[in-house]
Amino acid sequence: MKRQHRNSKFHNITGKAIALVGAFVLASSSLAGCGMTDRKIVFTTGFSDDEVFRIEDSVCSLQEAMVYLVNTQVGYENTFGSEIWKSETDSGTVEDRLKESVLAKLAQIKAMNLLAKENEITLDEAEENKAIAAAQEYYSSLTDSDIAAMKGVTEDDILQIMREQAIADKLYDYIIRDINPEISDDEARTITVEQLVIKTYEVDASGERIPLSETQKKTAYLRAKEAAAVLRSGESSFEEVSATYNESDESVLSFGKGEMEEVYEVAAFNLGTEEVSDIIETSEGYVIIKCISTFNREETEANKVKIVAKRKREVFGQQYDAFVGTLTKELNEPLWNSVELVSDANVRSSDFIEVYKKHFD
């Protein structure tokens, strides 16, 4: 299923951290989903000692990269601890994933600033003053350890980062300024269901799912049939049967169209209020669904906002992707490969984006 809200009974901290790193967005929420998916970076030489990459004539310095890397690292460690980074994923360590995400975000911001230049988008006097105030506030909060971890970053470096983030946001707002689609109740309809799940997988020590054997799956299916039979008998409520059989960490879900696994969604949206589905097989396991509400007004209105935001990202993404495909990109691979996460416990800066949002939101 696409959407599951777990209380981490069987997903350990490392698994959560990996997922969060994969979804990493340091820029403001308006930029989410506009990653630089077609970077076509050329590995080259001839960089200065502190140049991480170039996109056309725009350069990303090591100091800039470390501001993002340090803030994100510390932010995750505040939640998950410092042991997560060496854990392995399908595409390298969690540390590798974090570095890739930071590099992609920096490339995105640089490319957006180039596109803003083409559209003659700059900061006005009030916005420039906000950038200056944000840079001063953030830089004054840094300790000597923070500055050292960020390779001697200066207040001018921070001001440049604040400016570029603000211009990127302004570009996004400019491109999507006329996009305001009407979303019907049916398109955004959100329903609420209760589910009973018999899992067809186990979780190993690293948080990875291990499918059950065929014999184990048959046992799980028989247990689901048993639960379904009790429900049909009418002797126990859905809640009572769930208390005995349900293996999901969450029993009640609210969701809209396109948010769940297809087989789950089809079954759920075809139920009337208080109706119970047959057993359906999903990637989670064998599921029985009871419809609590076929229309949740509050959730539906919230879903309309999400759908509009998605449409805006799609419109922006089309123009952005076309522009990015024309750019020349060069990565200082030896320098970037040499960058490691900070191991100094005295480095505690994690609020760069919070300071930015305080001044620009």
Of 335, 340, 358, nearest to 51 by C-alpha is 335
Q: 31-40, 127-136, 207-216, 300-309: which has the highest mean pLDDT?
A: 127-136
Query: Over the stretch 218-248, which tens digit does the pLDDT of each residue have?
Result: 999 999 999 999 999 999 999 999 999 999 9
| Inter-residue contact 316 to 172 (CB < 8 Å) | yes
Q: What local confidence, expressed as pLDDT, does residue 2 receive? A: 40
pTM above 0.85?
Answer: no
Average pLDDT rounded to a whole number, residues 188-205: 92
Average pLDDT rounded to a whole number, residues 81-98: 82
Q: Is the pLDDT of residue 122 over 80?
A: yes
Q: Is the pLDDT of residue 39 over 90?
A: no
Of 60, 67, 104, 99, nearest to 332 by C-alpha is 60
Burial class for 264, CB neighbours closer than 10 Å (0-12, 13-18, 19+):
buried
- CA–CA dist 17, 87 (Å, integer): 10
- CA–CA dist 11, 135 (Å, integer): 38
Q: Where are the domains of the chain?
A: 21-180+309-360, 190-294
- CA–CA dist 247, 216 (Å, integer): 15
Could you tell me the end-to-end alpha-carbon distance of the chain, in angstroms, rounded to an integer? 34
CATH topology of domain 190-294: Chitinase A; domain 3 (3.10.50)
